[in-house]
Chain A
C-alpha cells in the first residue's frame, strides 16, 4: 500500500510541485488570505457602538469613504507622495547603477555592499536619524544658522510632506538599486557599441537601447518602491506632522483610537485596489512607451 502510494508520488509531477510549495502555501493562507478575507468582510459591516459591530451586509462604508473629503484627499496625497518618492529614487539610483554596471571594472560587489550599507540598520533608526538631520535644531538648520545664512530655522524641513518624501526616498533607495543594477548589468556592452557604430549619438543610444533594455529593472524598482511607500505609516507618523499625514495613518486610527473598524477596513480595501490599479497602469504604460520609443 505504502509502496503503491510512493510510486504514484514518484510519477506525479503535480504532487511533487505541491509538496514543495506547501510550506509557502500554508504561510500565505495563514498570514495573507485569512486576514485579507477578514478585512474585506469587515468592510461590509457597521460599527454601532464602541464595542459592538452589526454584521449585516452593507456597502455604506464605501459610500462613507468617498463622502469624506478628508479620506479622499489623504488617498490622493498618499499616491502623490509615493509617486514623488518613486520618481526621485529612480532618477538618483539609475545613474549610480549605470556607473557601476558599465564603468566599474573591479569590485562591483564592494560598490553594491557599500551602497546598501546604510540599510543594515533598522528602518526606525534611519527615520529617527532623519529627525536629527531635518529637525528645527537639527544638523541642517543649526549649521545654516551658525554660518549666518539663516536667522531662524527652515520650518518646511520637519513635520512636513518634504520630510516624508526625503526620508522615504532614502529608506527605499536600496530596493531600487538592486533591480536597476541587475537589469543594467545584464545588458551586453557590445549592444551599446553597436548603437554607436550604427550612427547614433551617446544620448540616442541611451534612449533607443539602454533605457528600453533596462525597463524590467525600472518596472521592478517602481513596484518595489511604490507599493510599500503608499501604505507606509511610520515615517508620516514620526516626521509628517499634520501636513505630511497619509491615508495609512488614518486607517491606523480607525482600527485604534477612533475605533471604526468597518470604515478602516473599507479604506484599506480601497487603498489596496487603488495601488493595484496604479501599479498595473504604470507597468503597462511604461512598456508601451518603450515600444514606441524603439
Chain B
C-alpha cells in the first residue's frame, strides 16, 4: 500500500480575505477511509473541492499517485465525487445517470452494460433503472449518487457529507454499508463530515479541521483518548474542562494544581511548560464514577445532582460541587435518577483519566 497516495503539500485557498484552507500539508494512504472533520466553515469542503478540481489552490500543490494534479480540471482527474445534495440529473433516469460518466471512457456497449449492472447490484438498486430522481427516496438517491461515482472506478472517491440529509436510522445503516463497501472495493475514500460520531465510527484516520488548519490527524481512538489540543478535546465527544496551572516537571509527570482540588501529579504527554497558567484538564463524563457512597479514588468529591437526562443505555448527571466552578457532566450505566436520595452523590476521578491540555 502506498502511504503517500495523495500528497497535500502546503495547500492554501483564499477567497478574498478569507483563508478557507491555510497552509495545510498531509498525506492520505492508498485504500484508506479518510475523514475530514470539523464545524461548518472550517475548510473541509473547500479542501475536498480542491481535490475534486472544482477549486484551484492559491498556493501549494496536490499529488495523486505520484502525479501532480494541482491544475488539472475535474474531468481529467481520477477522482469522483458524491455530492451533498446528490446532484442526480433530474432529466434522465437512474440508468442513464449511471452511464453518464462512462461515455468518455471508450468502453464497448457490453462493457458499459456490465458495469452498470454490477454497480447497481453493489449498491442494491436493481430494478430502479427506469426511475427518475423525483421518484426516489433520499436513501435511494444517495445510492444512485454513489453508483454513478463508483461506476467510473475512480482511484479516489470524494464524499461531501453524503449522509447529512438522511434520517438517523438510515444514516446509521448507510454508515455501516459505506464502510463495508469501501473495504470490499478497496478504493480510497475521502469523506467530509461535521458529525464527529460519523467520522469516528467509519474512518481509518480522521483529520480534525478548524479555521482552515488541521488540528489533529490520527486514528479515531487516538483522537478520543489523546486529543492534542483543547479544540479537538471539545469537538470529539463530550468532556469537562477544569482550570489548572502547572508547577514543576517530574519525569514524565508534571505537578498540576487544579482549581480548588489541590495539587496532583499528571502525565504530561503534550510537554506543557512548567509554571503555566494556561493549562486545562479534560475529563470525559464516562471516565468519572458517580456513586451514593464515598470511594478511595484519587479524587472524590461530594456533590448535588442538578439535572439528569436519561438516554436509555446510560444516564447523564449534571452535578454541582463545592470545589468546582462549573457544573460537571458524569455519565453512568449503573445508576439513574432514582438511585440518589436528596440528589446527594459522590464523584470519583482517577488521575490517569485526566488529560492535560494547553488552553491555546
Give the B-binding residues of A (Cβ under 8 A): 188, 190-191, 193-201, 208-209, 212-213, 290, 294
Task: List the A side residues contacting B73 at CB < 8 Å.
Answer: 196
- Specify which chain A residues have a CB less than 8 angstroms from the CB of B138 in the assembled complex: none
Q: Is B168 located at the chain interface by the 8 A CB criterion? A: no
A198–B92 touching, CB < 8 Å? no
For the complex, give the distance between the alpha carbons of A200 and B52 in Å: 14
Q: A194-B148, A199-B105 are in contact. List 17 more A-B contacts (CB 8 A).
A: A188-B85, A191-B87, A191-B90, A193-B83, A194-B87, A195-B89, A197-B75, A197-B79, A197-B101, A198-B80, A198-B101, A199-B75, A199-B101, A200-B75, A213-B91, A290-B91, A294-B92
Q: Provide the residues of chain B in CB contact with A193, threshold 8 Å.
A: 52, 54, 74, 81, 83, 87
Q: Of B53, B54, B100, which one neighbours A198 at CB under 8 angstroms?
A: B100
B residues within 8 A CB of A290?
91
| Alpha-carbon gap, A213 to B91, bound state (A) | 7
CA distance A199 to B103 in the complex (A): 8
Contacts A213-B91, A294-B92, A294-B96 known; A197 to B104 CB distance under 8 Å? no
In the complex, A201 Cα to B103 Cα: how many Å?
Answer: 12
1/0 per residue B132-164: CB within 8 Å of A? 000000000000000011001000000000000
For A201, the chain B residues whose CB sits under 8 A away are 75
How many CB-defined contacts (below 8 Å) exist between A and B?
A: 63
- CB distance A190 to B80 under 8 Å? no
Which A residues lie within 8 Å of B92 (CB)?
Answer: 294
Q: Size range of the interface on B?
A: 20 to 34
The reply to whether B52 and A294 contact each other, CB–CB distance below 8 Å, is: no
CB of B179, distance to nearest CB on chain A (Å): 23
The residue in chain B whose Cβ has the minimal distance to the Cβ of A215 is: B91
Say yes or no: B87 contacts A190, CB within 8 Å: yes
- Closest Cβ of chain B to A100, distance in Å, is 21
Q: Are A190 and B83 in contact (CB under 8 A)?
A: yes
Do A200 and B87 touch across chains, with their CB atoms under 8 A apart? no
Which B residues are within 8 Å of any A CB, using their own CB?
A: 52-54, 73-75, 79-81, 83-85, 87, 89-92, 96, 100-101, 103-105, 148-149, 152
Q: Which residues of A lie under 8 Å from residue B52 when comparing CB positions?
A: 193, 197
With A190-B83, A193-B83, A213-B91: A198-B96 Cβ-Cβ less than 8 Å: no
Q: Which residues from chain B contact A188 at a C-beta distance below 8 Å?
A: 85, 87
Identify which of A196, A198, A209, A212 contacts B152 (C-beta below 8 A).
A198
CA distance A234 to B81 in the complex (A): 55
Q: Are A197 and B81 in contact (CB under 8 A)?
A: yes
A-B contact pairs, 5 of them (CB 8 A): A188-B85, A194-B81, A199-B105, A208-B100, A294-B92
Query: Chain A residues with Cβ under 8 A from B103's Cβ?
Result: 199-200
B86 CB, nearest partner CB in chain A, Å: 9
Q: What are the residues of chain A within 8 A of B90 when measuring CB–CB?
A: 191, 213
Minimum CB–CB distance from A169 to chain B (whole Å) comes to 29
Beta-carbon contact of A199 and B85 below 8 Å: no
Closest residue of A by beta carbon distance from B54: A193
A212 partner residues in chain B, CB cutoff 8 A: 91
B55 to chain A, nearest CB (A): 10
- Does the CB pair A197–B74 fall under 8 Å? yes
